[in-house]
Amino acid sequence: MTPKPDASCTVCPTSGTGCHSIGSHLTSNLSLFGASKATRSRIRSFRVVTALSALLSLSIAGQLLAAPDSVNGGEYPDNSQDEHFHLTEEQRWAIERRLELQREKMRSQGVFPLPSGMSTAQPEFVWPVVPAAHVDYAGVDAISNYVDNDANFPDQILDYNCGGRSYDLSSGYNHSGIDIFLWPFSWQMMEDNDGEIVAAAPGIIIGKDDGNNDQSCGFGGGSWNAVYVEHGDGSIAWYGHMKKNSLTTKNVGDSVVAGEFLGVVGSSGNSTGPHLHMEVYDASGNLIDPYAGSCNVFNAQSWWKEQPDYYEPAINRLATGTAPPSFNNCPTPATTNFSNTHIAGTSLYMLAFYRDQLNTSSSQLSLVDSTGSTFDNWSFTSSEPHYAASYWFWNYANFTPNRPRGGWTFNNSYNNTDYSHEFFYVDTCDTIETLDSVTVNASQTGYGASNYITTANSVSVTNNADLALVAGNKVVLNNGFSVASGSKARIDLGDVCS
Ligand SMILES: [Zn+2]
């Protein structure tokens, strides 16, 4: 696949929708927000204290502000979706021979027949890549290649759906599996163990390969790390390119259930970036294409419990940042330039990372301020019929509206799913912030600190003010800190200011 960065598209904001006065009822209270250090993308928040209950009406004069100044982006400008063979002929032969010997050995030892309850019917696969439990964004993967159902070569490609989402090579290799790659920021995701490979169906582990380098960026990567699972009907699934030393601690001969952890998505062996290559054989050793379709020449039935659609348009991640991401040379992780803290007067970037983006689905985007009022909204549609992986970023060059500081959300509704990302809007962002004896009076003010914020004596928030304190580690409120009726103060903790 040839990268096609495309910066020619433009956004078409809904005229005038971002410009109106708001009148809000604010509960005078002190709210605490918490976030773990591991939370990088979304700040999970909870309101724990409602100190005062007076309801007051607060009008904030709306300020005319255009929709985002610019939009840019396009196809994922990286080579990890590129075509490559996964195994040399020698490697493939050696694996097949070893697995066959292992099966014979296990049968002689009575490992087969399988544990009671394991079906001997054709397996029904679940999706073999899932986000790790710590992942706090929407999705981790995308499809780059299906099985090539056209035995001819080169450049004679048919996926199960009669499309061209596969590849072959002049050497005669026709892609024999499904490639599921990590997206976005695959190398960082691999380092963070974000994408886990799970068993698509229950079975017995009949082979494990581990200890091989997982930083491959192309051919000549040597041996891969992999787990091989035999199902109750004698069919076998290969799960390849795993991260070194990430494999399940279960041994050859142990059983696994559907959805059970097998390893972390990596880039071992002949691989151009972190992805899973899943390859399936029936009990007789015939290649299987798990997807049923009119161009599947291998098998008539689907092997999926619920066959995924050919395209699965979704957003894997939303983010805010100080600059566009920089995709570094493989295998160096990209520089995301993400930030969950926006400092007044600086450039604000809002980013969306799509999988299977289609020009038949459009995004409805909005920016909502800390009072819940919509600051801006607009729509966006890619002009390209299909991107397997794409990203777009919208920018306000100088984001200084007279708007409430505190927690804002960037929303993107796409393909019947609502996605949102929370960020903090503050006036400053230093390492340590000290609030002197000031009265926060009738305004919206936010302070950020990567380490901590401390208040001097007698800081008071009065006269319908809205104070946001955002710190990486702690906020210390000293004697005399007070929030008057009608005003609001929020404390946000998390990895949000750098
Ligand atoms: Zn593959």
pLDDT tens digits, 387-412: 999 999 999 988 876 777 778 999 99
Residues 234, 105 within the same domain: yes
Q: Are residues 274 and 401 in the same domain?
A: no
Q: What's the domain range around 409? A: 12-21+61-75+313-426
Confidence of residue 75 (pLDDT cuts 50, 70, 90): confident
Handedness of CA 224, 160, 316, 257 (dihedral sign): negative
Mean pLDDT of all residues in 139-154: 96
The SS3 of residue 196 is strand
Residues 68 and 109 in one domain: no
Query: Do both 343 and 262 map to the same domain?
Result: no
CA angle 339, 37, 429 (to 5 degrees): 40
Question: Cα(277) to centroid of ligand 1, in Å?
Answer: 4
- pLDDT, tens digit (0-9, with 9 covering 90-100), for 100-132: 998 888 888 876 656 666 788 999 999 999 999
Give how many domains the chain has, as a whole number.
2
Q: Kindly give the distance from the C-alpha atom of residue 328 to the centroid of ligand 1, in angstroms, as a whole number.
A: 23
**CATH number of the domain within which 409 lies:** 2.60.40.1930
What separation in Å is there between the alpha carbon of 231 and the centre of ligand 1? 21
Q: How far is the CA of 278 from the centre of ligand 1 (A)?
A: 7
Residue among 426, 304, 315, 298 at smallest CA distance from 364: 315
- In 151-294, which ranges are E strands? 178-182, 195-198, 203-209, 226-230, 236-240, 255-256, 261-264, 275-281, 287-288
Residues with CB under 5 A from ligand 1 (ion): 86, 177, 179, 277
94 in the same domain as 172: yes
User: From the CA of 288, how far away is ligand 1's center (Å)?
Assistant: 14
Residue 50 alpha carbon to ligand 1 centre in Å: 55
For residue 267, give the CATH number of its domain: 2.70.70.10
Check residue 68 and give its pLDDT.
Answer: 83
In this structure, the answer to whether residues 67 and 210 fall within a common structural domain is no
Predicted TM-score (pTM) of the model is 0.81
Residue 304's DSSP bridge partners are 125
- 239-251 mean pLDDT: 98
Does 363 fall in a domain?
yes
**Mean pLDDT value across residues 353-370:** 94
**Same domain for 111 and 184:** yes
Choosing from 370, 402, 426, the residue where a domain stops is 426
Q: In the structure encoding, which two tokens stand for residue 469, read together?
A: 């304190």
Whole-angstrom Cα distance, residue 253 to residue 135?
Answer: 31
Angle value at C-alpha 80, between 76 and 85, nearest 5 degrees:
145
Q: For the segment 410-444, what is each residue's pLDDT rounded down to a tens digit?
A: 999 999 999 999 998 887 778 888 887 555 655 67
- In whole angstroms, give the CA distance from residue 440 to residue 457: 13
Q: Are both 273 and 326 inside the same structural domain?
A: no
Whether 16 and 99 map to the same domain: the answer is: no
The amino acid present at 456, given as its one-letter code, is A
Of 67-71, 176-180, 367-371, 402-406, where does mean pLDDT reach its minimum? 402-406
Strands (E), 415-473: 417-426, 428-435, 439-441, 444-455, 460-462, 466-471
Kindly tell me if the per-residue pLDDT of 351 is higher than 50.
yes
pLDDT of residue 27 exceeding 70: no
Do 268 and 193 belong to one domain?
yes
Q: Measured in angstroms, how far is the CA atom of residue 175 from the centroid of ligand 1?
A: 6
- pLDDT (mean) for 64-91: 70
Classify residue 412: in a domain, yes or no. yes
Query: How far is ligand 1, taken at its centre, from the CA of residue 197, in Å?
Result: 14
pLDDT, residue 147, reads 97
- Among 354, 366, 465, residue whose Cα is nearest residue 415: 354
187 within 8 A of 274, measured Cβ to Cβ: yes
- Determine the distance separating the centroid of ligand 1 and the alpha carbon of 138, expressed in angstroms: 24
Strand 55-60, strand 22-27: pairing: antiparallel
Residue 172 sits in the same domain as residue 140:
yes
- Rounded to whole angstroms, how far apart are CA atoms 142 and 340? 25
Does 159 lie in the same domain as 282?
yes
Q: Is residue 470 part of a domain?
A: no
Helix (H) or strand (E) holding 186: helix 186-191
